[in-house]
Amino acid sequence: MTNSDPICPLCDRPIPDGGGSLHHLIPKLKGGKGGPTVLLHLICHKEVHATLTEAELAREFNTVEALRAHPRLEKFLHWVRKRPPGFRSKVPGKRRGR
């Protein structure tokens, strides 16, 4: 980890080399192919997609602020902020009903 590591806009932790994943704020399938992207931790990115459908992401959760405000993601972010930046965990697929 270096001081120049990018910072995950969701959890505010540095993203170590190779630990990031590009998230399209508007899903590619919903017209966001050339749209804005943000670099997230892999674990944060997986949690976003385990929590929300592509339609929900396109319609209501197409900003970092909106993602952070989602109740389940808010809880996840509170938890993951206590983990080291390189922390990886198996994020189960569809965990709970939406």
User: What is the DSSP code string of 75-91?
Assistant: HHHHHHTTS-TT-----
Residue 98 reports pLDDT greater than 50: no
Q: Exposed/middle/buried for 12, CB within 10 Å: 0-12, 13-18, 19+? A: exposed
Residue 73 reports pLDDT greater than 80: yes
Q: 91 versus 8: which is more confidently predicted?
A: 8
Q: What was the pLDDT predicted at 94?
A: 53
